[in-house]
Amino acid sequence: MDTWNQRLAYALAQSEYTANGLAAALGLKAPSISAWIGAGSITPARDIKADNLLRVCELLNVRPEWVLFGKLPMARNAAIWPFEGVAREEFESLPERERARITRFMRDTVDAWTETQTSEVRRAG
């Protein structure tokens, strides 16, 4: 998905809305939505008003930065979860003392790695 129009079309396809339904929810006419998702050469600043973009993103649960620039994450309120194999919900269901232990381990690991990198740069320089 190279253009904002393609990303908007994708978000619409992934949602519960049709183009007509989205237009109705926004108080617009369906041709407006069709123009947004069908015209890759139009610029968002000229052809989609900021308030409409923000409302569309809210209804489709996507971030404006994702629609306009492809900047992840796609979903609003989505936090990037870096741990493969462990769902965020699993981590959050742990007792506080276990979450704190894991957080300390991560902090210690990152600090140790950073110190190693800094030392290597000093030796090389």
pLDDT recorded at residue 80: 66
Q: What is the pTM of this model?
A: 0.60
* Domain residue spans of the chain: 4-69, 88-124
List, for residues 50-69, the tens digit of each pLDDT value: 899 999 999 999 999 999 99
Q: What CATH number labels 4-69?
A: 1.10.260.40
Mean per-residue pLDDT, 111-115 = 92
Residue spans of alpha helices (H) in the chain = 4-14, 19-26, 30-38, 44-47, 50-60, 64-69, 88-92, 96-124
**Band (117; pLDDT cuts 50, 70, 90):** confident
Query: Is pLDDT above 90 for 88?
Result: no
Q: Say if CB 28 and CB 36 are below 8 A apart.
A: no
Q: Say if CB 56 and CB 8 are below 8 A apart.
A: yes
